[in-house]
Amino acid sequence: MFAQRGYGSFQFGTSLTDLGKKMLIMYAVVYVLELILEHWVGVPIYRLLALSPLGSNQFHLWQFFTHPFLHNPGAPINFLLQCLVFYFFAGTIENALGTRRFLILYVSAAVGGALIGFAFSGLPFLHAPFAGMSPSLLALIVTFGFMHPESTVLFMFILPIKAKFISYGTIIVTTLTFLATVNVFGAYHLGGILFGYLYFRGPTQWLDYNWWYWKFFQFKQKKRRSRFTVVKGKKGDKDKPTIH
């Protein structure tokens, strides 16, 4: 799979950064440990750490933080495909946005997936525990299409298609499978796409620590100034205004 942009071309994955490599290694190590614990030791690690629907007997608060690092131990092929998607897109997005913004986008999509999944967890078909990087990966795919809409991507290494249509197709397919109740994880996936899009297109300063710190500093300065009062003298008064 590769994409052409303008007069040049770039290949997915060739720009995978050190951060991306470390993340892939982390996912691989965690998954191998899952397989060993689940299938060889008999410890139900997936049930304990995957994100169960809100209100279920199996839900625990720590699952909100642990579920993005886990993947279904019964679906190794799906895990490898997700790693492949990460390899294709992560480096390109990180090089375009920068490491900091890339991480915020990635984490925002994971958090958004969990929040929207919780919001729809009362539906009868959303009963399965959720884990994995799917919400973040879908956010990366959609973001790539909006960043390079006219880039031509060889889909499945054969079919040329504009990147923007991959983004639109991802959104449409995810929405339709959710509405048709075909995808039991549809709400989580839509949440990842939504929050990733909001961060990419929305006011990014809301997720910027420095912006919030500056706003807090301005608030403190304004509060301090409110303790003082300027008393103006009358016309012709030689005394200058004083601050009390």
Task: Determine if residue 9 is left, alpha or beta; phi over 0 gives left, psi from -120 to 50 gives alpha, anything else beta.
Answer: beta
Q: How many CB atoms lie within 10 A of CB 166?
A: 19
238 domain-assigned: no
Helix pair angle (99-119, 76-97), 10° resolution: 130
List the CATH number of the domain containing 145. 1.20.1540.10
Which pLDDT does position 2 carry in this prediction? 45
Domain residue limits at 189: 2-207
97 domain-assigned: yes
| CB contact set of 64 (below 8 Å; sequence gap of 6+) | 51, 114
Q: Shortest CA distance to 173 belongs to which of 157, 190, 159?
A: 190
Q: What is the pLDDT along the chain (244 residues), one digit of tens a residue?
A: 545 443 334 445 457 899 999 999 999 999 999 999 999 999 999 999 999 988 788 999 999 999 999 999 999 999 999 999 999 899 999 999 999 999 999 999 999 999 999 999 888 888 889 999 999 999 999 999 999 888 877 766 677 888 899 999 999 999 999 999 989 999 999 999 999 999 888 765 555 656 666 777 777 777 777 766 655 555 555 555 555 5
Structural domain count, the chain: 1
Helix (DSSP H) and strand (DSSP E) numbers for the chain? 9, 6
150 domain-assigned: yes
Cα Rg of the chain, angstroms = 24
Q: Shortest CA distance to 107 belongs to which of 68, 142, 72, 70?
A: 68
Q: How many CB atoms lie within 10 A of CB 214?
A: 12
231 domain-assigned: no
Q: pTM of the full predicted structure?
A: 0.79
Residue type, 140: L
228 domain-assigned: no
200 domain-assigned: yes
Which pLDDT does position 213 carry in this prediction? 67
221 domain-assigned: no
127 domain-assigned: yes
